[in-house]
Structure 1
């Protein structure tokens, strides 16, 4: 055999091997084929069928989630199957056994998929839940000015509040720490939202017995002082202290108020603050199985599930998939009002009440314009403050 014939034979063998490798790769991409006879999978595969009733998310929101999670897979279940199983579990708060029967998938596989997908969705936290940029702060302020119906709130860039998430009673010596004032076990979610109802920051995991003020003081946004930027403020209810540093937080005047100016200020303040309550209501309505009954997972996994719901909430709001809150079935616990100013915030508060009365363009007492702000970081440090033991540290999920 001459050199030409030998080279041709080698080239032929190389091409045949390449075709075989390509065929094997193509076969590996369909390692697991979805069963179209499963009704819940058929709903997704048939684009004419609505998904919101069964999955509590619109098709647009689910596709947006899949686009963010898009990754190359050479084996295992398809991404859409894993997303649908996880979203269905979140939507109804069912046991792994029930979900495995609904999707005709082994129970151990359902467990693995849900935990793996929750971790994948949590990896999107910094991309989906983040503080606004400098340019966006002005837009957020205009939104709060419209909500409050007062120009004094044009530099408000967030509303903060806390929410108790029911969990099953934990085991171990720390079980009593999770028992709140209404005598059910819970973990706390602290959140800041903008004027459209999107979360800007979340901090979840503290036991239900802890006061809102302590949760705030140990949260990354307080420890780092990264938000709001100079010249701006956030609003919160009477359970928080009125502060000027490290977080500029304006609260309402405590009862009894002194005169019509303070009454008027409290009215504007309540209108601006109502958006965080509406945001919690929207999230509870969407994930009723998670938020309106005790979460049937370990208390160390519960904060991650809540954070996943917050990420999905922001994706839904961005996609225009709004689910208005239903009648409140599990009222938010309101701590007793803080009785004193703990950080110089009352000076700003006093300046704002006159501004809200006269409709001035600036909320600051000296009447000057707020200074320019530096570019904000999209995600706060995950480090918490002092004051809790290592077991509780491990359960926190923060923005």
Structure 2
């Protein structure tokens, strides 16, 4: 993070974090409080190590992190992770179509596990399929890899489709309020905006997924899956950059679950801030989430029958066959 971005964060959170000196003691300065919290989020170091580095007590480090995340949730997250308006949706769709050739697509959705220590209560609920305890971060990103919707805190044992159905994103889609009423005809189908998800998600009018590889896919379906996966990699890369910058999300976090959730949301906002400010990123920090994009899509747990319309996928498949050439070398 550059000095310019650091000063921006300080000024943004000043109303909630700045303290006044008292008669008996001097308070920790605003810049130092922000630096302590950012260092903790960026390294995942123990409170004791951070305290030694900045010359403060463990209690002070803990308080700085808690207050910083609480202030960020109130002042920074709403600014950096905003639901797009109609003009922004058009811009996002145009960017993805120009770069990957998928018309009317406004992003990709996926989930990522954030490691935690086993909670004292209901710890089995947080034990995920990978064999460790976690909470789930569900995020939707645009073509540039910036988050425009995040939902975090549910136990790691839940399936991605279940997390989606419990999120506000699903609620908005159910009410028909997710996207503006802007339709486009693609071949024989008329579609609204949509996002891309892997095979774990249910097929919906607004959520497309690849064809399940049964070993009998047609050439057209293979082309669709190839283009689909090359576009959806943006969300995997976003998770990789998020955890590469803010490594408290990579290591097992020993904080309370509610604080971990607050840290996750804060880090997502800081990710958007760094990306929009053009901060440099060392590729050596990339994490396995980005590598997972190269793996074949997971088989769906739910059946495709009755999930949603399939005419949009078929129309996109025809569109890609007509407008693009592919090589299977």
Q: Which residue of 1 aligns with 2:39?
A: 88
Matched, 1:306 2:270: no
Could you tell me how far apart the structure 1 residues matched to 2:193 and 2:212 are? 22
Shift in Å, 1:293: 1.8
Q: Deviations over 1:291-349 (max 9, x none)?
A: 33211212232111111110110110111014255454477697542431443232211
Q: Which residue of 1 aligns with 2:8?
A: 64
Q: Which residue of 1 aligns with 2:144?
A: 196
| Pairing 1:8-19 to 2, within 5 Å after superposition | none
Q: Which residue of 1 aligns with 2:62?
A: 111
Asked if 1 retains the 8 angstrom alpha-carbon contact of 2:212 and 2:299, the reply is no
Give the TM-score of the pair, scaled to structure 2: 0.84
Could you tell me how far apart the structure 1 residues matched to 2:154 and 2:78 are? 20
| Pairing 1:125-164 to 2, within 5 Å after superposition | 125-148=77-100, 150=101, 153-164=102-113
Q: Which residue of 2 aligns with 1:220?
A: 168
Q: Which residue of 2 aligns with 1:379?
A: none
Q: Which residue of 2 aligns with 1:39?
A: none
Matched, 1:187 2:146: no
Q: Deviations over 1:7-35 (max 9, x none)?
A: xxxxxxxxxxxxxxxxxxxxxxxxxxxxx
SS state of the match for residue 344, structure 1?
coil
Q: Which residue of 2 aligns with 1:285?
A: 244
Q: CA RMSD in A?
A: 2.1
Matched, 1:210 2:158: yes
Could you tell me how far apart the structure 2 residues matched to 1:145 and 1:352 are? 12
Work out which of the two has the higher radius of gyration on C-alpha atoms and give 1 or 2.
1
Asked if 2 retains the 8 angstrom alpha-carbon contact of 1:254 and 1:339, the reply is no
Shift in Å, 1:229: 3.2
Asked if 1 retains the 8 angstrom alpha-carbon contact of 2:241 and 2:287, the reply is no
Could you tell me how far apart the structure 2 residues matched to 1:336 and 1:301 are? 33
Matched, 1:262 2:221: yes
Q: Which residue of 1 aligns with 2:120?
A: 171
Q: Which ranges of structure 2 fall in alignment gaps of 5 or more residues?
A: 22-26, 182-191, 325-329
Could you tell me how far apart the structure 1 residues matched to 2:80 and 2:31 are? 20
Shift in Å, 1:130: 1.2
Could you tell me how far apart the structure 2 residues matched to 1:224 and 1:295 are? 31
Shift in Å, 1:144: 1.2
Q: Deviations over 1:81-129 (max 9, x none)?
A: 1110000111111122221111111222221111111100111222110
Q: Which residue of 1 aligns with 2:304?
A: 340
Asked if 2 retains the 8 angstrom alpha-carbon contact of 1:197 and 1:278, the reply is yes
